[in-house]
Structure formats: C-alpha cells, structure tokens
Amino acid sequence: MELNAFTNLLTETQVFIGFDRDGTLVPYADHPDEALLDECVKLQLEKLSLLPNVTVSIISARSIAQLGRDMLGSADRMILAGNYGLEISFPDHSEFLHPDAIRLKKTLRKLKVELFKKLPQLGSVIIEDHGLSLCVHYHRCEGLERRDIITAVSAFAKLYPDLTFINLPTSFEIMPANNWNKGSALDIIESKIGFDDEPWKLLYFGDSVSDEPAFQWINNRGGISVRIGDAKVTESSLQMKSCSDLIGLLNMAIK
Ligand SMILES: [Mg+2]
C-alpha cells in the first residue's frame, strides 16, 4: 500500500483499520513468547487510536489478555478480538464471548493435557494455550519428527469432533468446530459499530491463510485488504512485502 493512499484514507470521515498481530505488526520469532510488539509500533497504534475519526482493531489468534498487555494504556480505545474473535472487547467495555467457546472450554483443557503428555515425546513442539483455542507449532520439527507430530495431532482430531484442527503450514490451530473465522469476528464488530450508518472506509492488514476470510469480508464492503508477504494466492486487494514495510508506512503516515 502506498503512503499517499494511506494518508488520504486517514482523512476520511470514519475509518476502521483492522490489524492481525503475528506476521503483520510483529515479525515471527522462533518461540511465540519472543514475538513482542515493538514499542515504536505500539506508539504508532496509540496515535492512530487517538485520531477521532479512526477506529483501530487488533484481530488475532492470541487472547484478548495478551493483546491488552501489548497495548497497555491504549487497549481501551481499541477493539480487541482474541482467539480469532471468539472473544471481543469494545472501547465501551462491552464484550462478546462466543457461546461455543464457553461450552467447549473444558474439552479444550482436557485436550491440552493430553497433547502435553503425548507430543513433547515426539519432537520439539510448542503448545500454546490462548484460552479459547490452542496452537501446536511444529516449525522446529523436521522430517520424521514432523510426520509423527502431524499423525499424532490428526489422531486427536478424530477423538474430538466438537473441535476443529486447522493444519496450517507449520502449526495446528485448534478451536470450536463452528466454522468461526476472522470474517465472523468482523460481523460481530459490524453489528456493534454499524458500518452502514456513516460513510466508513474499511482497511485490514493480515499475513496468512487465517486472514483470508477477513480480506473477503473487507472487499465485499468496498474496503481495502492488504496481505503482508509474498503469497501467490490471496483474496487481498493489495500486498506488502513484509512487516517492516507496514511499520515503515505507519511511521511515515502518523507523526
Ligand atoms: Mg498473522
């Protein structure tokens, strides 16, 4: 996305800007705990959220608690959608929590215990608990180790029909089997904000397959969707090479 297009957009009457977190605002790290939001990026997001015509939202696989820690001090000016939007907090302190996420919390805990018993014996996996979803990262595993992890997690999928196990290039995302995605999260945000009531301009930045439903959602409403990275196939209307390009754009546009 070009600087001029972005700065022009910021002058519109009402602007919604959604950001994915990992791979979009924060470069990936070997361990998810090491992927921290840079203080300069945090400052730019804070400034963005202070513009009276701009609504900022972070829509991530991570929990609202984590997103709140990232944005400490300005979190209550943003819409934070954690666990793919199964949980959403709004600036007026209202919250959305998907009933399936509540119903399946115990099931997810049980699975987590079983994954911790089984997987570390097979390879150097990282099991991340986001509260309403789990993520099994296996980017550190190669060859047979990787095959064993995929086989083991796939076997668990058969035992837990109420959960969906989404196999991404180097991870499994595990969440309620209700076809929920970031587009669904945007539906909830729209029902709260009512994008139709005013001439809203919509913009969304993401970097992965899990952002594609958000790109489609934004495109369907005449907005601009931007995928970070060099994906060959994407629904996004624009692409940017890397997180640092996006961060550079924010730095140049927001003084
Ligand atoms: Mg991402």
Q: Is the model's pLDDT at 197 over the cut of 70?
A: no
Average of per-residue pLDDT across 146-164: 97
Q: What was the pLDDT predicted at 122? A: 86
User: Tens digit of pLDDT for each residue in 215-240?
Assistant: 999 999 999 999 999 999 999 999 99
Question: Domain boundaries in the chain?
Answer: 3-98+180-253, 101-176
One-character DSSP codes across 133-182: -EEEE-TT--HHHHHHHHHHHHHHHHH-TTEEEEEETTEEEEEESS---H
Q: Kindly report, residue by residue over 114-137, the tens digit of the pLDDT.
A: 999 999 888 899 999 999 999 999
212 CA distance to ligand 1 middle (Å)? 11
Give the model's confidence band at 13: pLDDT under 50 very low, under 70 low, under 90 confident, else very high: confident
**101-176 has the same fold as 3-98+180-253:** no
Structure tokens at 94: 């209202």
The CATH number of the structural domain formed by 3-98+180-253 is 3.40.50.1000
β-strand partners of 252: none
Q: What is the distance in A from the centroid of ligand 1 to the CA of 25?
A: 8
Can you say whether the dihedral through the CA atoms of 236, 239, 245, 251 is positive or negative?
Answer: negative
Distance (angstroms) between ligand 1 centre and the Cα of 151 equals: 25
Q: How far apart are CA 68 and CA 78, in angstroms?
A: 9
How many Å lie between the centroid of ligand 1 and the Cα of residue 28? 9
pLDDT in tens, 65-110: 999 999 988 899 999 999 999 999 999 999 999 999 999 999 999 9
pLDDT at 195: 86
Token pair 């959602």 is at which residue? 217
Say what the pLDDT of residue 1 is. Answer: 86
3-state secondary structure of 242: coil
What is the per-residue pLDDT for 146? 95
CA 203 to centroid of ligand 1, rounded, Å: 16
CATH code matching the domain that covers 101-176, chosen among 3.40.1700, 3.30.70, 1.10.3470, 3.90.930: 3.30.70
Task: Give residues whose Cβ lies within 5 Å of ion ligand 1.
Answer: 20, 22-23, 207-208
What is the overall mean pLDDT for the chain? 95
* Averaged pLDDT for residues 182-209: 93
Task: Give the residue carrying structure tokens 């546009």.
Answer: 253
pLDDT grade for 46, boundaries at 50, 70 and 90: very high
Cα–Cα distance measured from residue 203 to residue 215, given in angstroms and rounded to the nearest whole number: 9
- Model pLDDT, residue 187: 98
Overall average pLDDT of the 181-202 stretch = 92
